[in-house]
Amino acid sequence: MTEAQNPSTRATADPVLARFARAGAVASATASASADQLLQMAPAALTQTPIRWLRGWWAVAQFGAQMLVLMLSPSSYRRSQHPALYYQLHAASVPILPGFVAMSALLSLVIIRIVVATAQSYGLSQYALDVLVRTLVLELLPLLVALYVALRFTMPAGEAVAELREQGQLQALWRAGGDPARDVLLPRVLGGVFSVVLLAALSAIMALVMTYVTLYGFTNWGFASYTRDVGQVFNPAATVILCMKAFFFSLVVAILPLAPDPRHEGASLQRRDEISQLGRLFALILLIEVLSLVGNYY
Amino acid sequence: MSLPPDSPPPIPNLELKARLLLLVMVVLVAGAIGYLMYARGAFERTQEVVLIADDSEGISVGMNMTFSGFAIGRVGRIELSPEGNARIIVNVPHKDAHWLRESSVFTMESGLVGGTKIRAFTGVLTDPPLPDGAERKVLRGDAAAEIPRMIASVRELVNNLGALTGPEAPLNLSLANLQRTAEKLNGPQGAIGVLLGNDADAKRLSLALERSNALLARLDGLVLKADGIAARTDGIIAHADEQVFGAKGLMPETRATVVQLNGLLAETRNSLKKVDAVLVEAQAIGANTREATTDLGALRAEVEASLRKVEHLVNEVNRKWPFARDAQIKLP
């Protein structure tokens, strides 16, 4: 590109020449780029793609397993670990809490009003509660929480970790006798898991309270029947599926953005990579959601 | 350990805030679990009611049993009995069990919209309470199942209606007859003609009516005569009244007679007093007579003695008299 830049600086006096010069530079750059692409389009690279895809997921699975083991080992919760853990717990939940509470309350209120009004207009208000608990508490809010935490906490954290990797600081920590997985990655993973569980519980309880208030107003006479109806929706199978879904959502959201991507092998993440990572995350969350729906309704 | 090189700026009271967050999460999750357990009835003491149904379709574990629209129990288990019936075990909390009595009736209804509903009805709330584990047959009402039966009934009804309204149907004939009857009613014979059917009878009835009229006229005459007789009887009665109760009637005379009788009775009383005096005198005479009778005894004795003496004397004269009969002494 240095050859192309020189004529352009020289020809700035004449706009016409400058225009031609820029066009020539663009053309030569395009030609060199397409030549590079053609060089890269070797048959070997094409056959490598599924293998790289598999390797990528394998690395993610390995990283996930490593994090799970670290989560379950008591040595990860030593007193010396506490400051990092506390910092990440705080960073994962407190900054995003007000925004999430406002958003989930607004969304819940809109959906509750829509469902209640629709059910009343069809004379089926006795089924409104059932529909609301199933759609909001069991399905929508956990999904919303997972995406919100991923976008607001774990993906930025993953970017920061990738930068640390790129700068070699994790290697330096390793050489200095520390454990990067335990000291740097695990607190972020735990922060993500904690944040998902906390926000899911909070939003579910808020939605239940708002549903009650919308249906019965600020009175307590409907509490018994409301509780009974909620209890009917939360049968053992639905409760277990909800708990498992929340748990797997939190794992996916916390682990996937922090996992190393073998395609880059230390290179910093670009915007396109972030979008593809979000796509992968969304695909996994959707898969869990579909599995939970299958478990609930089939 | 040393914090990573990108260690964040310190946050005041970080540990406290983090612990608080953990506490909030634990409270939220524990509260949610506790509420759900309460909502599922985990803390209620319950008793069982076993409902026997021939079909458990639409019944699911956890569904409500209602009484007067209030949920008082929930289905805990569904089994298949050895007889092939469905056994629906309903858990009823002790605090609501008093609504169920020995005479309670249980129904299972499935409407067109919504799920199956189990309902309990108790007519007599003073009956003895339903014991734990009681088995009851459940009555099944199924709106969807009723539809084919209803359609069959409606079809039958429509067929019957068709048969009723057909050209040869009894209803049609009846209507035709009714029309003819109405025409007759409006005819010269009127309702009588309708009632009797043929003209001859109608005429006979008219004749009978005329005769009845004549009879009534005669009866009128008779009644008039009877009136005359009654008037005459009235006169007789008045005359009798005068005879009996008039100034010279029977009654004043009777009264005078009674007065005379009274006088007579007084006189009789006087006479009787005199008779009493006579009787007293007669008693005295009697007493005298008794005395005289006593004297008479003595006199008689004297007379008898004199007579014996006379007899003796006569006997003496006879013996001494020459022409006397032979005196014989007969010895016994």
* Domains in chain A: boundaries: 2-40, 52-297
- The set of long-range contacts for A272-275, using a CB threshold of 8 Å and a minimum separation of 24, is A274/A155, A274/A159
A252-266, B73-87, B131-145: lowest mean pLDDT where? A252-266
Asked if A183 lies within 8 A of B4 by C-beta distance, the reply is yes
Average pLDDT for chain B: 85
Check residue B3 and give its pLDDT: 44
Check residue A12 and give its pLDDT: 40
| Ranges in chain A, pLDDT < 70 | 1-48, 261-272
| pLDDT tier, B70 (very low <50, low <70, confident <90, very high otherwise) | confident
Total-model pTM:
0.61
Nearest to B39 among A86, A89, A230 (CB): A230
Tell the burial category of A101 from Cβ atoms under 10 Å away from its Cβ (0-12, 13-18, 19+): middle
d(Cα B332, Cα B312) in Å, to the nearest integer?
22
SS3 B166: coil
Q: Find, among A208, A236, A252, the residue nearest to A295 by Cα.
A: A236
d(Cα A20, Cα B88) in Å, to the nearest integer?
88
Closest-CA residue of chain A to B30: A201
* Cβ burial A128-147 (10 Å sphere, 16+ → b, else e): bbbbbbbebbbbbbbbbbbb
Asked if residue B326 has pLDDT above 70, the reply is: no
What's the gap in Å between the CA of B95 and the closest CA on chain A? 13
Question: Hey, which bits of chain A come out as E strands?
Answer: none
Check residue A6 and give its pLDDT: 43
Check residue B205 and give its pLDDT: 85
Mind listing the pLDDT tens digit for each residue in B227-255? Answer: 999 999 999 999 888 888 887 788 888 88
Q: H/E element holding B47?
A: strand B46-53
B9 secondary structure, DSSP code: P
What's the gap in Å between the CA of B70 and the closest CA on chain A? 8
Longest distance between any two alpha carbons in chain B, whole Å:
228
Check residue A3 and give its pLDDT: 39
Check residue A283 and give its pLDDT: 92
Domain ranges of chain B: 43-148, 252-299
Which sign does the torsion angle of CA B227, B229, B230, B236 carry?
positive
Asked if residue B322 has pLDDT above 70, the reply is: no
Question: Which residues, including other chains, have CB under 8 Å from residue A99's CB and lie 6 or more apart?
Answer: A152
| pLDDT tier, B262 (very low <50, low <70, confident <90, very high otherwise) | very high
Check residue A20 and give its pLDDT: 45
Mind listing the pLDDT tens digit for each residue in B51-62? Answer: 998 888 888 888
d(Cα B184, Cα A63) in Å, to the nearest integer?
109
B22 vs A contacts (CB less than 8 Å) = 89, 194
Average pLDDT estimate for B307-324: 81
